[in-house]
Amino acid sequence: MTPKIARFLAEQQPATPCLVLDVDRVEEKFRALQSALPLARIYYAVKANPARPVLERLVRLSSFFDAASWEEVAACLEAGARPEAISFGNTIKKVSAIRRAHAQGVSLFAFDSAEELEKLAQNAPGARVYCRLLVENEGADWPLSRKFGTTIENARTLMLRAGEMGLDPYGLSFHVGSQQTSTRAYELAIGKAAMLFTDLTEAGVNLRMMNLGGGFPTRYRDDVPEIDMFGNAIMGAMVAHFGNNLPEMLIEPGRFVVGDAGLVSAEVVLVSRKDPADPVRWVYLDIGRFGGLAETEGEAIKYRIATPHDGTPMGPVAIAGPTCDGADILYEKSNYRLPLKLACGDRVELLSTGAYVTTYASQRFNGFAPLQEHYL
């Protein structure tokens, strides 16, 4: 928790549940990433937290942006981003969204299929395009599965075709999965993409760019490698494969930039036991899976939880949200422990929840209002 957030919570006692985010911390994380990978251009993945104060601060820092929809493109433009600084990185785009973004001056688009490439040729003629490769997501706590990316063979065919279709075959991309805790995942993906890059260059395609995606982790309950370790691994792999002839490098961090900058302040609604003899207490909070904590699905992301009784004796708990849905359980199998003193009415903080929380909050399920947001 940053001093600014601590002061805000103490002085304002904002209604719970709410997200409180320190925008200075966003700037610190952005700068840390810049110094870990000084040769890479940073395209902030807007979906992680599209709040206006976050986007405006990043515009001031001359960040670039990775947008996934027309609405995200518009949010970047409204926050002051130049259209040339926006990449339309979703490989699944509505035709109307492509047309609107292109008309506004966005000129960089992702694809991973012949069908999407055709849409781009028709609706964004002349645009720079990059092909997303399917890579392993091993080591990622929030993998992106096989939904995105294509094979090396298909990517080769499509990149050769792009030029003939009036598009500019600009580069290749991949995403190693979100909350990626292994630097090796980047090394392997770079190796795979670099082979195709060299092959296409030899075939006469004027490729200039490698987009290494996002995935850089936030520290939740478990430690993760420092960002410099990722920087070193990535630069080592890039130099090993490209030598002095490095292409432009792009990265698309989301979680790393905003995750650590925010916390959710919540209230304990009930602490109970299924049976008086049961050692496990059930702790129900006023926020759960549907209030924005979607990444607790499968107990994938394990947030740290601070309470007013930290440092006193603890016992095992299951932690759940306030709705009437049986899926609204945050943690039952992950061996969470909380103070025995914890009681109804206590305020608790879910730490490092600045990414992928506000955007996942549902609309009034069981009547609960969407998560309130405070940007400091």
Ligand X SMILES: *Cc1c(COP(=O)(O)O)cnc(C)c1O
Contacts to ligand X by CB under 6 A: 45, 47-48, 66, 89, 175, 178, 213-216, 252-256
Radius of gyration of the chain (CA): 22
**Cβ contact 265:18 at 8 Å:** yes
In whole angstroms, the minimum distance from the beta carbon of 224 to ligand X comes to 12
Sign of CA dihedral 15, 21, 24, 28: positive
In whole angstroms, the minimum distance from the beta carbon of 108 to ligand X comes to 12
The Cα-based distances of 110 to 161, 199, 211, 342 in angstroms read 15, 20, 10, 49
**Cβ contact 287:269 at 8 Å:** no
Which residue's Cβ lies closest to ligand X? 214
CA distance 324 to 304: 24
> Which amino acid, one-letter code, is at 117?
L
Closest to ligand X by CB, 197 vs 216, is 216
Closest to ligand X by CB, 29 vs 281, is 29
In whole angstroms, the minimum distance from the beta carbon of 216 to ligand X comes to 6
Closest to ligand X by CB, 253 vs 262, is 253
> Which residue reads 């490439």 in tokens?
117
Q: What b/e string do you get for 30-39 counting C-beta neighbours within 10 Å, with b at 16 or more? A: bebbbebbee
Cα-based angle 144, 147, 151 (whole degrees, multiple of 5): 105
Closest to ligand X by CB, 211 vs 323, is 211
Closest to ligand X by CB, 44 vs 197, is 44
In whole angstroms, the minimum distance from the beta carbon of 73 to ligand X comes to 14
In whole angstroms, the minimum distance from the beta carbon of 253 to ligand X comes to 5
